Amino acid sequence: MAVFDIKNIPEESHSAAEKPLIMLVDDEVENLNVMRQLLAADFQVITGLSGHEAIDIINNMADPGEIQLIISDQRMPKMSGVEFLEQVADKIPETIRIILSAYSDTEVVIDSINRAKIYKFMTKPFDPAELSLTVKRGVEAFQMRRQLLEYSGQLEKLVTERTRELHKKNEELTQALNALEKLSLSDQLTGAYNRYFLEKFMPQEISQFKRSHKRRPAQNGYLGIMMIDIDHFKAINDSYGHEAGDKLLIRFTQILQNNCREEDWVVRWGGEEFVIIAKGLSLTNLQGLAERLRVKIESCPFNLGCRQPVLKTCSMGLVCFPFIRNNVNAFTWQQTLNLADLALYLAKNNGRNTWVSLYDKNINQDDSQYDNLMSNLKTLIQNNLISYHTPSPGQQLNF
């Protein structure tokens, strides 16, 4: 009776209740029949009379990975059991592999372990109970390994999905934090930068400026600092209400932004006060920017929802950082901003709708110079240590 038959190949799909599939390979039909009878009660059995025949069966199977265990005789013609199981290890590596041999040759045992990665080496004649138990344990090992692999695959898939979800959540969180950061750095009414923005980023800007100024002092220009106040803003709120005042602030901000460069900062400092940080400008160019803004504001009709447009003006105080040209460390940026506020005070005290630019002329820095400048500006100007400009050449300031 021929052992190799197409019926030996199991159907493509099986129910969960079916017996595990095993393969027996031996060149002696009697041995195959004995092992089949011994194992058929617990397993589906397919057989092959040689290694080549068994390889053909495996190659014709829809899913050879369904073979959970293979028992092969060692001494067979043309292809030994070790050679056969070595090919099996490449084709279906998860399958449990057992060698049967009538010779307990140590070299064969070592060779089969190294080359075919066998599960167990058994000698002939075999003990039926031992063989049955070995096959059952081998199938259990196969099924446990498969379950572990399936679990590992599911776990890996779950980890991948969770990682993808976590990455997506992190991206959403980053976007939300960026939006929140942007929101926290912007004035909610006008869209201009707010005071927190200036306090957060001005130190970095100053550090960068100092590095550039150290390398190329003649080409670096200055950081222009401009403090701006809308003249008589309170009168708008008193006459037309706070909604009209809000419209004025929004339109005023737009004019400042439209007439500054993209790299400049327009900051709402508080109320009707604004700060402009103009980067890399000379003192002359900063004064030119102030005059353009003054004229633009003066000539712009503000539509505030009233019967007719309202005309407004503004006052500005200008200084440059570094205030003392030859010493970038003389004053902090906050102190320099206070000097711009002092210049703004002079502009408001001298008729409004104007700007006052303060700059160093011959001043020498010492530890008390900042306090001296803030409290004795008039004396320093009279002593030709500090100078100023306004839109009206030769104008004398009232202190």
Contact 359, 245 (CB under 8 A): no
Contact 305, 276 (CB under 8 A): no
Q: How far is CA 26 from the centre of its chain?
A: 61
Contact 309, 251 (CB under 8 A): no
219 pLDDT band (50/70/90 cuts)? Answer: low
Give the Cα-Cα-Cα angle 102, 103, 107 (nearest 5 degrees).
145
Contact 92, 64 (CB under 8 A): yes
Q: What ranges in the chain are assigned the alpha helix state H? A: 29-39, 51-59, 81-91, 106-111, 128-184, 195-215, 233-240, 242-259, 283-299, 333-349, 369-375, 377-382
Fold of 195-389: Alpha-Beta Plaits (3.30.70)
Both tokens of residue 246?
């809000």
Smallest CA-to-CA distance from 67 within 14, 115, 3, 105 is with 14
For residue 309, is the peptide bond before it cis, meaning its omega torsion is within 30 degrees of 0? no
Q: What is the DSSP string of 174-237?
A: HHHHHHHHHHHTB-TTT-SB-HHHHHHHHHHHHHHHHHHHHH-TTTS-EEEEEEEEETTHHHHH
Domain 6-152 identical in fold to domain 195-389: no
* pLDDT for residue 16 is more than 90: no
Question: CATH classification of 6-152, choosing from 3.40.50.150, 3.30.70.20, 3.40.50.2000, 3.40.50.2300?
Answer: 3.40.50.2300
Smallest CA-to-CA distance from 114 within 140, 135, 91, 85 is with 85
Contact 372, 335 (CB under 8 A): no
Q: Is 78 exposed, middle or buried (0-12, 13-18, 19+ CB in 10 A)?
A: exposed
Half-sphere exposure of 107 (CA within 13 A, CB side): 0
Show Cβ contacts of residue 263 under 8 Å, excluding neighbours closer than 6 positions.
Answer: 279, 280
C-alpha pair distances (Å), 350 with each of 336, 343, 356, 359, 384: 21, 11, 9, 18, 20
Tokens 């004053």 identify what position?
331
- Which is higher by pLDDT, 17 or 254? 254
Quick one: pLDDT at residue 306?
83
Mean pLDDT of the chain: 89
Torsion of CA 152, 156, 157, 158, to 10 degrees: 100
362 pLDDT band (50/70/90 cuts)? Answer: confident
Quick one: pLDDT at residue 182?
75
Q: What is the pLDDT of residues 67-89, one digit of tens each?
A: 999 999 988 999 999 899 999 99
Show Cβ contacts of residue 328 under 8 Å, excluding neighbours closer than 6 positions.
Answer: 209, 210, 213, 214, 321, 322
Rounded Cα gap, residues 293 and 298, in angstroms: 8
Show Cβ contacts of residue 273 under 8 Å, excluding neighbours closer than 6 positions.
Answer: 227, 228, 229
Q: Give the length of the chain.
A: 399
Name the residue ranges covered by the structural domains of the chain.
Answer: 6-152, 195-389
Rounded Cα gap, residues 53 and 12, in angstroms: 20
Q: What is the pLDDT of residues 145-172, one digit of tens each?
A: 889 888 888 999 999 999 999 999 999 9
Task: For the chain, give the percent of residues with pLDDT over 90.
Answer: 66
Quick one: pLDDT at residue 364?
66
